[in-house]
């Protein structure tokens, strides 16, 4: 099945009782037991499993080519469930640039619980190899990275992890459809479905997808139920509704972003554009090998630093000044002031999520905003 067809049909079934084509939202928290104590469809209590969550999980597993998936109430809850499947004394290698929440979660929560972490530059493989220890259990990757769209060689890092007996995971939030980490040899994929998969800035969620439904994923699955950071049936339904159009949206996001990135790269007030789709980008060759398109996220540095960047963002009319990404509307944000996260984030950097408007309108807006 091709990806457009899969997106429409994965996790979808016409309702057997009513014939409803749009799957009903099952709000029931509890399910009737048979006289013999069993459960008719395997559902017993909504935190453990429910029809809408199961449908979403089936669709997400199909999307990434995984054996199983577990859905959570947010991307960070999904990320935490992976780290919670580790044990005290386990060592994690993580990127020095990536989603600030995930890196902070490791630093502020899991280090206190006895997990050891090395943050390394993942634009090459040397630092990953050098950081390996006998207790390394997980190599966490994120590519393209937030916010400078650095590219990690997923196949090589997965190979290094495997040789060391560690699992390799990718936060694939920025590149669903166009990047398939499990086909490159990785073990786990995490998405914040809040972004491209939901796709309309109206539902928060996350998912963990595993290549094998083995021991590690079983711990993630157990954490979903025991820790309980689960999405509501309505959230699952809405996320799956967004997912149906994901392949077409990713194509348009990618086409639009390449046009905007090309425009920005030629603008005299722009010092640097971070978009792996540009041939001039240092990660382009690698990205072209492991991605089928380059998604809709990019960032750029305005000449004149923080003040000039904030001033340009203040003047946009179509681009909405807001954090997050992956919706139909284009968003712009001065990243360093929003997250206060990492000294690595340049002060003149603006991060943009390219939406589904006409690219020429987006370019006109940036043209007037940059002055
Ligand atoms: C937004 C985001 C997350 C966190 O997801 P939430 O749904 O906000 O918890 C994790 N990773 C990346 C790359 C993100 O963009």
Q: Are residues 338 and 239 in the same domain?
A: no
Q: What's the pLDDT score for residue 337?
A: 85
pLDDT of 340 higher than 70: no
Same domain, yes or no: 120 and 255: no
Q: Is the Cβ–Cβ distance between 238 and 202 less than 8 Å?
A: yes
CA of residue 14 to ligand 1 center, whole Å = 32
Q: What does the DSSP assignment read for 55-123?
A: HHHHHHHHHHT-SEEEEESSHHHHHHHHHHTS-TT-EEEEESSS-HHHHHIIIIIITTTT-EEEEE--S
Contact (Cβ atoms closer than 8 angstroms) between residue 200 and residue 242: yes
CATH number at residue 262: 3.90.1150.10
How many Å apart are CA 150 and CA 313, to the nearest integer? 23
Contact 143 CB / ligand 1 (< 6 Å):
no
**Which residues are identified as catalytic?**
47, 99, 171, 195
Among protein residues, the one whose CA lies closest to atom 2 of ligand 1: 192
194 lines ligand 1 (CB under 6 A): yes
Predicted pLDDT at 344: 81
26 CB-side CA count, 13 A: 19
Regarding whether 157 and 9 lie in a shared domain, the answer is yes
Distance (Å) from CA 190 to ligand 1 centroid: 9
On whether both 329 and 252 belong to a single domain, the answer is yes
Model confidence band, residue 173 (pLDDT cutoffs 50, 70, 90): very high
Q: Do residue 239 and residue 254 come from a single domain? A: no
73 lines ligand 1 (CB under 6 A): no
| Distance from Cα 79 to the centre of ligand 1, integer Å | 9
Which of 212, 243, 274 is at the close of a domain?
A: 243
Enter the tokens of residue 359.
């690219």
Residues 238 and 296 grouped into a single domain: no
pLDDT 10s digits, 252-284: 999 999 999 999 999 999 999 999 999 999 999
Q: Are residues 253 and 232 in the same domain?
A: no
User: Does ligand 1 lie within 6 Å of residue 140's CB atom?
Assistant: no
Give pLDDT, residue 341.
Answer: 55
| Best probe residue, ligand 1, of 81, 195, 201 (max atoms within 8 Å of C-beta) | 195
Mean pLDDT of all residues in 318-331: 98
Please check whether residues 40 and 173 belong to one and the same domain: yes
Is the CB of 299 inside a 6 Å radius of any atom of ligand 1?
Answer: no
Q: For residue 338, what pLDDT band results from cuts at 50, 70 and 90?
A: confident
Q: Is 97 in the pocket of ligand 1 (CB under 6 A)?
A: no
Domain range for 15: 3-243
Count of domains forming the chain:
2
Whether residue 54 sits in one domain with residue 96: yes
Choice from 60, 77, 192 to test ligand 1 binding pocket (greatest atom count within 8 A of CB):
192
Domain co-membership, 157 together with 211: yes
Closest CA to 64 of 221, 211, 164, 203: 211
Domain boundary among 243, 272, 295: 243
CA dist 276 → 234, 262, 289, 320 (Å): 35, 11, 11, 23
User: Both 147 and 38 in a single domain?
Assistant: yes
Measured in angstroms, how far is the CA atom of residue 73 from the centroid of ligand 1? 11
pLDDT single digits (tens) 131-170: 999 999 999 999 999 999 999 999 999 999 999 999 999 9
CATH code of the domain covering residue 238:
3.40.640.10
Instruction: Answer with the one of 243, 260, 282 that is the final residue of a domain.
Output: 243
Residue 56, C-beta contacts closer than 8 angstroms, at least 6 positions apart? 11, 69, 71, 207, 231, 236, 237, 239, 240, 243
The whole-chain average pLDDT of the chain stands at 97
Task: Supply the residue whose CA is at minimum distance from atom 11 of ligand 1.
Answer: 99
Please work out whether the CB of residue 348 comes within 6 Å of at least one atom of ligand 1. Answer: no
Pocket test for ligand 1, best of 75, 95, 235, 338 (most atoms within 8 A of CB): 75
Answer yes or no: do 71 and 171 share one domain.
Answer: yes
CA angle 235, 236, 238 (to 5 degrees): 65
Ligand 1 near 98 CB (within 6 A): no
């Amino acid at each position: 099945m091709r990806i457009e067809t899969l997106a429409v049909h994965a996790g979808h079934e016409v309702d057997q009782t009513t014939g409803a084509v749009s799957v009903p939202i099952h709000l029931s928290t509890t399910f009737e037991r048979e006289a013999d104590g069993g459960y008719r469809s395997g559902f017993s209590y909504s935190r453990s499993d429910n029809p809408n969550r199961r449908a979403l999980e089936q669709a997400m597993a199909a999307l990434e080519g995984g054996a199983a998936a577990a859905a959570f109430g947010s991307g960070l809850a999904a990320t935490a469930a992976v780290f919670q499947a580790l044990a005290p004394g386990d060592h994690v290698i993580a990127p020095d640039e990536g989603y600030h929440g995930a890196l902070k979660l490791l630093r502020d929560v899991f280090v206190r619980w006895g997990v050891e972490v090395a943050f390394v530059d993942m634009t090459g493989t040397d630092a990953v190899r050098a950081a390996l220890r006998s207790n390394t259990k997980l190599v966490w990757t994120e590519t393209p990275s937030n916010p400078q769209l650095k590219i990690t060689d997923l196949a090589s890092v997965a190979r290094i992890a495997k040789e060391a007996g560690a699992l390799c995971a990718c936060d694939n939030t920025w590149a669903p459809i166009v990047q398939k980490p499990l086909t490159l040899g990785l073990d786990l994929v995490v998405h914040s479905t809040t972004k491209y998969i939901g796709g309309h800035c109206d539902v928060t969620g996350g998912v963990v997808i595993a290549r094998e439904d083995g021991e590690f994923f079983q711990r993630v699955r157990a954490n979903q139920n025991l820790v309980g950071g689960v999405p509501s049936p309505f959230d699952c339904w809405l996320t799956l509704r967004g997912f149906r159009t994901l392949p077409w949206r990713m194509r348009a996001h990618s086409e639009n972003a390449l046009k905007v990135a090309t425009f920005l790269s030629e603008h005299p007030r722009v010092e640097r554009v971070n978009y792996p789709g540009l041939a001039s980008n240092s990660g382009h060759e690698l990205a072209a090998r492991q991605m089928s398109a380059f998604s809709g996220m990019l960032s750029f540095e305005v000449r004149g630093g923080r003040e000039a960047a904030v001033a340009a963002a203040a003047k946009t009319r179509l681009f909405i000044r807001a954090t997050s990404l992956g919706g139909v509307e284009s968003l712009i944000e001065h990243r360093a002031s929003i997250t206060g996260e990492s000294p690595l984030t340049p002060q003149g950097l603006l991060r943009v999520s390219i939406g589904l408007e006409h690219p020429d309108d987006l370019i006109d807006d940036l043209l007037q905003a940059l002055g």
